Chains A and B, each alone.
Chain A
Amino acid sequence: MRAELRNHQYEQSRFKIRLVICIVAVLVLFGILATRFYYLQVSQHQHYKTLAERNRIALLPIVPTRGLIYDRNGDELATNFFSYILEIAPAKPAEIEKTINQLSAIVEISAYDRKRFKKLRAETKRFKSVPIRTNLNDDEAAKFAVNHFRFPNVELKSRLFRNYPFSSSGAHFVGYIGRINDRDVKKLTKNEKLSNYKGSDHIGKSGIESFYEEQLHGTTGFQQIEIDNNGRPVRTLTTNPATAGESVTLSVDMNLQQVAEDAFGERRGALVALDPKTGEVLTYLSKPSYDLNLFVGGIDHENWNRLNNSIDRPLINRPIRGLYPAASTFKPFIAMAGLENNLRKPPYRILDKGFYSLPNSKHRYRDWRKTGHGYVDITRAIIISCDTFFYGLAVELGIKRLAAFVSHFGFGKKTGIDLPGEKSGLLPTPEWKKRRYKKPWYAGDTVIVGIGQGYTLVTPMQLAQATATLANDGVSMKPRFAIKFTKPTGEEVRLKPIVQDKTVLAQENIDIVRNAMKRVTLPGGTARMVGSGAPYTVAGKTGTAQVVGIKQNENYDAKTVSDRNLDHALFVAYAPADDPKIALAIVVENGEHGGSTAGPIARKVFDYYLLGKKPPKKKVKPTERVGQTTVQDRLIPQPHRHQIQSNRAN
C-alpha cells in the first residue's frame, strides 16, 4: 500500500517535471513567433509596406506560345495566328456601359458580345481587362485605331489563336484544343501542373494536341506589374519570360492523307497505313470527319448537336475506337498459328465440300462458297479465303493456343499508339466468356473465331499493326505519330523506332503465309484487281464482316438488306510484297466486299506512296477562315499574352 502510494507520488512529480518542460517549450516557440512578427511588422515593415500599400504588385502570368504540329513534309497541321480584339479596362459599371454604347457606333457589337462581356467580367479578377469584341478584321481595327483617343480605357490588342489549316483532314489524329474545364483542372491539380496553367485558357482535348500537351504547352512565365488604386497597370517591374512549347513533327504524309481521303470519298470507315520497319504512321483516316476549328474555344450547341447526333458518328475516332470483326483478314494470322504449331504444313490438304461440322454434330458451318473449293492446302486457303479450312484449324488449335499466339501480333491489347483513348479490342477466351456472360465456352465459339467472327473484335489500328508485323517478319514496331520534337531554341530531338514485341517465327512459315498473301492480289486471288497492272507486288488479304447475323439455311442477299446493315468491307495489305515499305488496314463500313470496295483505295494509296503520283493540293489558309462562319467569329478569344502593349514596354 505504501509502495503504491509512493509510486503514485513519484508518478505525479514526474508528470509535473514534464509539464514544466512543456511550458518552457511553449514559451520558447511563442517567443519565436513573437520575434518573427516583430521582424515582419517592425524591422521589415517598410519593405512590405512598399509591396502592399503604395504600389500593389500583381503577378501576371505570361502564357507561352503553343508549339506547332507539322506533318513529315513540314506542312503545318496546327498553327497560331494573330487576330485583333478589343478589351475594356476595369472601371465603374455605369462608365463601362457608356463606353460600350459609344463603341458600338464605330464597330459592330452584338447582343451576344454584350452578354459574354458581362459574364466574363463577373468571373475575372479586378485588375484584368475583359474583351468586348473579338476577331476584328483589318478594316474594323483601323477604324478603331483612328478613334482610339476617344476611348482611353479601351485597348486594341492582338492575340494568338489556334488554327487547323487542314480543318477536317486528319482531324482525328491532330485533335483540337478547347477551354480548360473543371475536369482538366482536377487532372492538372493531381499532376501538380496547375500553376503552369495560370493564365492559360486552353488545353489539348483530343488527339496529338492532348497526347503531347506537356510538350506543346510550354512553360508559363510571369511578370510583376505595379497597379494603381483603380487596378490599372502602371509599369512592369520584372519579367520572367515564358518558354514556348515544343513543336511536334508527325510521320504522317498529308499528301498521302489527301489521296486516301479522296479515294475513300463519301464512304464511312477507317484507314491506317504504317511503315512496317519503323512503326511510323503514314496515314490515319477516320470517315466521316469534322472541322477541328469548330472546337477551338468551345463548340456552339448547333454544331455540337449536328455532329453528335449524326447517324454517321463523325466524332468517333474509328481507327483506335471503332471495334469491328476481323473477318477473313484474321486468316493469315490463324495460318501462322497453325504452321508454328506444326499443323496444316504443306502438302497437307483438306477436301472442302462447302461446310464444316464438329465431330458428333450435324450443325453445318458453311463456307462462303456453297459448293466448296475441293482440295485446299494452306496457301490456297488464304488465296481463295476458304472458310472450311480455317474452321477446322481453329478447332484443332483450340481457343487458348490460338488466342495466345495471335496476341503476339497485337490483337486483344492496345497498340500503344500516341493518341489518347485507344481501345484494346477483344480476343475472346473461355475465362473472358465466363466473366462476361457467365456461360461456358462452346466448341462452336472456337469454330467461328477461325474466320475472325464471333466475339473477336479488332480496331483498324490493330489490324494495321498486325499486318505491319507480318510484313516485318514478325518483329513488331511500336506504332507512333511523333518523329521529332523541336524546342523553341531550334534544338531537335528525333525519336528512334521502338521494337515492341519480337516473336521469333520460323522464316519458312512466314514465307508460306507471305507468298500466299502475295497471290491474293494476283489473278485467281480475292483481291486480283488490287494487283492488276501494278509495277510493284502487293500482298494482302480481304475480309467481309457480317453486320447482321444470318440464320442457318438462309442466304445473304445484298438487295434485301438496308444500306446500314450491309457487310463491312475489310482489306489488309503491304507493298512491295518482298520488301515492304508500307502496310495498311482498311475498313469500309457497309462496303460489302473487301476486294472490290476497300482494295481500290489501297491501290491508290500504294500508287502514290511507292510511285509518287501527285494529287492536287487543297488547303484552307488561316486568313480565309476569318469571317467564314458567323458562329465561329463570336467564340471567346484565347488570352495568349501577346499584347502589342507589353511587347512595346519591353
Chain B
Amino acid sequence: MNSESITKLFKHFDAFLMATLMFALLIGLFVLYSASGESMGPVYKQLINIGVAFFLMWIVTNISPSDLQRLALPLYLVGVLLLVLVEFFGTTSHGAQRWLNLGIMKIQPSEIMRIAMPMMVAWYLSKQDGKLTAKHYFFGGLLLILPVGLIMMQPDLGTSLLITASGFYVLFLAGLSLRFLLGSSIFLLAMSPVFWSMLHDYQRTRIEILLDPTTDPLGAGYHTIQSMIAIGSGGAAGKGWMNGTQTQLEFLPERTTDFIFAVFGEEFGLLGNLMLLVMFLLIIFRGLMIASEADSGFSRLLAGSITLTFFTYAFVNMGMVSGILPIVGVPLPLISYGGTSMVTLCISFGILMSIQSDKKLVAR
C-alpha cells in the first residue's frame, strides 16, 4: 500500500479536529495512569477503547450526510424501541436499569439516543424547507420528550438531561423563538415553588445536599468535598504528575471516571486547567465552524448540536467536580475512563468530519 492510498483511506478525516482529539486523548491517558495508582492495566484497556472508537469513527466519516439524513428516522425508531425493551427486560446495575442484554453483547440504548436524537430533530426540521411554524417546533419538542421520559424512568438523570440538551440545541439553532424561550423560562422560574411543594421529603433533602454538600459529608456530599480539596490544593502550578496526595492516598472517589478532572486539577493546577479549557474551546470552535460552513440545513443543525452537546458534557463535568453544579453522572469527554462514552463521542466526531468532507466535495 503506497502513501497515496493511505491518504485516500483517511480522506474524510479532518486534520485539525484529529490533532486536537489525539492531544486530548493523550492527556487523558497520562491522567488515567496516575489516577489508577500507576498501573498500566486501565491504560491498555482505554487504548483498546480508543482503537475501537476510532475504527467506528472512520466508518462513520465514510457515510455521506445525505445518507445520514436517511438513517435518522430508522435509527430514532430503533432507539425508542430499545428503550421500551429496557423498561421491561433491561438488566439492573448500580440501581438503574440501563442495559439490554442481547445475548452476544450488552448495549445501552440511551447511548444510541445520544446520536439519534439530534439527527432525528435535525432531519424533521430541515425537511420543512425553511418554513418553520410553531407547530413544527412543538412536534420537534414531542420527539424530544418521549425518549427522554423513558431514560428518566431508568433512572438516569445525567444522560436524560444531556439528550434533552442535544435536541434542544437543534430547535434553538433552527430558530426557536427567543421570546418563547424567555417566556417559558420565566414561567418555570415562577412555578418552581409549586414544584418544590410537590416533592417528597427525601427528594428535597437530596436537592439540599446538592446545594450544600457539607450537610452530608459521609454520603452524597463526600464526592464534592474531596474533589474540591483536590482541585484547590493543586494551586496555580499543580503538585506534579503522580504527586497528587488526594489522588494517591485514595481520598478521591471515582477518580478514573467521573471525577478524573479533580486528579488533573490537583496534579496540573490552574495552568493545566486553563490549558484544558483552551483545548476544549479549539474543538468547539472547529465544530461550530464546520456547522456554519455546511451547505444543507440538516448538516448545519446536526453539526451545531453535536458540538454544543460536547461543550455541555465538558462544562457539566468540570462544573460538578469543581462544586458549582450538582453531581450528575456525566464523564469528562475524551479524558474519563470508559468505553461506551468514548465510542459515542468518536461516532459523533465522525459525523462532524463527514459533514466537513462533504462540503469540500461540493466546493470542488
Chain A residues close to B by CB (< 8 Å): 4, 7-8, 10-12, 14-16, 18-19, 22-23, 26, 29-30, 32-34, 36-38, 40-42, 44-45, 47-49, 51-53, 56, 59, 61, 125-126, 186, 189-190, 192, 194-196, 198, 220, 222
Q: Chain B residues near A196: list those with CB within 8 A.
A: 219
A22 touching B230, Cβ below 8 Å: no
Contact B300 A52 (CB under 8 A): no
Q: Give the chain A neighbours of B229 by CB distance below 8 A.
A: 48, 51-52
B100 CB to closest chain A CB (Å) equals 21
Q: Which 7 A-B pairs have the closest CB atoms?
A: A48-B232, A195-B219, A52-B233, A40-B232, A41-B270, A48-B233, A11-B130
State which of B68-76, B318-326, B340-348 sits at the interface with chain A: B318-326
Given the complex, which residues of B lie within 8 Å of A40, measured CB to CB?
228, 231-232, 265, 322-323
Distance from A215 Cβ to chain B, minimum over Cβ atoms (Å): 18
A34 to B274, CA, bound (A): 7
25 contacts between A and B (CB under 8 A): A7-B130, A14-B175, A16-B292, A18-B172, A19-B173, A22-B173, A26-B284, A26-B308, A29-B311, A30-B277, A33-B322, A41-B234, A42-B236, A44-B232, A45-B233, A45-B235, A51-B233, A52-B229, A52-B230, A52-B251, A53-B245, A56-B251, A125-B250, A126-B250, A195-B218
Q: Is B212 an interface residue (CB 8 A)?
A: no
| Cα of A535 to Cα of B228 in the assembled complex, Å | 77
Residues of B within 8 A of A48 (CB): 228-229, 231-233
How far is A232 from B249 in the complex, measured between Cα atoms in Å? Answer: 13
Give which listed residue, A32, A38, A190, A198, contacts B218 with CB less than 8 A.
A198
For A194, the chain B residues whose CB sits under 8 A away are: 219
A32-B324, A45-B235 known; A22 and B288 CB under 8 Å? yes
Q: How far is the CA of A8 from the CA of B232 in the complex (A)?
A: 50
Q: With the chains together, A11 CA to B284 CA distance in Å?
A: 22
Contact of A22 among B232, B233, B281, B304 (CB under 8 A): B304
| Residue B16 at the chain A interface, CB threshold 8 Å | no
Contact A49 B217 (CB under 8 A): no
Measured in the bound complex, the distance between the Cα atoms of B291 and A16 in whole Å is: 9
Residue among A40, A190, A195 with max Cβ neighbours from chain B (10 Å): A40
* Interface contact A47-B324, CB-CB below 8 Å: no
B202 near A192: Cβ-Cβ < 8 Å: yes
Q: In the complex the two chains form, is B235's CB within 8 Å of A52's CB?
A: no
B87 within 8 A of A: no
Interface hits, B178-226 → A, CB 8 Å: 202, 206, 216-220, 222
Q: Does the CB pair A18–B277 fall under 8 Å? A: no
> For residue A29, which residue of chain B has the nearest CB?
B315
Q: How large is the interface on B (under 10, 10 to 19, 20 to 34, 35 or more residues)?
A: 35 or more
Give the complex CA separation of A578 and B250 in angstroms: 71
B126 nearest CB across to chain A (Å)? 10
A42, B292: Cα distance in complex, Å: 38
Query: What's the least CB distance linking B179 to chain A, in Å?
Result: 14
In the complex where A41-B231, A44-B232, A222-B218 touch, is A34 in contact with B277 (Cβ < 8 A)? Answer: yes
- Contact pick for B319, options A33, A51, A186, A220, CB 8 Å: A33
**Nearest Cβ distance between residue B258 and chain A, in whole angstroms?**
16
Docked-complex contact A49 and B232, CB < 8 angstroms:
yes
B338 contacts the other chain (CB 8 A):
no
Q: Is the CB of B175 within 8 A of A18?
A: yes
Tell me the minimal C-beta distance from B277 to chain A in angstroms: 5
Interface string of B139-161 (1 = CB under 8 A from A): 00000000000000000000000
User: Which residues from A are CB-within-8-Å of B219?
Assistant: 194-196, 198
Asked if A37 and B231 make an inter-chain contact with CB atoms under 8 angstroms apart, the answer reads: yes
* Contacting residues, chain B, for A47 (C-beta < 8 A): 232
In the complex, the answer to whether B292 meets A30 with C-beta atoms within 8 Å is no
Given contacts A11-B130, A22-B288, A59-B218, whether A36 and B322 have CB atoms under 8 Å apart is yes
Give the complex CA separation of A120 and B142 in angstroms: 54
Interchain CA distance A299-B246 in the complex, whole Å: 38
Across the interface, do B216 and A195 meet the contact criterion of CB distance under 8 Å?
Answer: yes
> In the complex, A15 Cα to B270 Cα: how many Å?
35
User: For the complex, what is the distance from the CA of A11 to the CA of B220, rounded to whole Å?
Assistant: 46
> Is residue B103 within 8 Å, beta carbon to beta carbon, of the partner chain?
no
Query: B217, A30: Cβ atoms under 8 Å?
Result: no
Residues of A near B169 (CB, < 8 A) are 22
By the criterion CB–CB under 8 Å, are B218 and A49 in contact?
no
B174 CB contacts on chain A under 8 angstroms = 15
| Best-surrounded residue of A23, A32, A41 (most CB of chain B within 10 A) | A41
Cβ A19 vs Cβ B297 within 8 A: no
Known: A36-B322, A40-B232. A56 touches B245 (CB 8 A): yes
Q: Contact between A37 and B265 (Cβ–Cβ < 8 Å)?
A: yes
Q: State the CA gap A291–B220 with chains docked (Å).
A: 39
Residues of B within 8 Å of A33, CB to CB, are 277, 315, 318-319, 322, 324
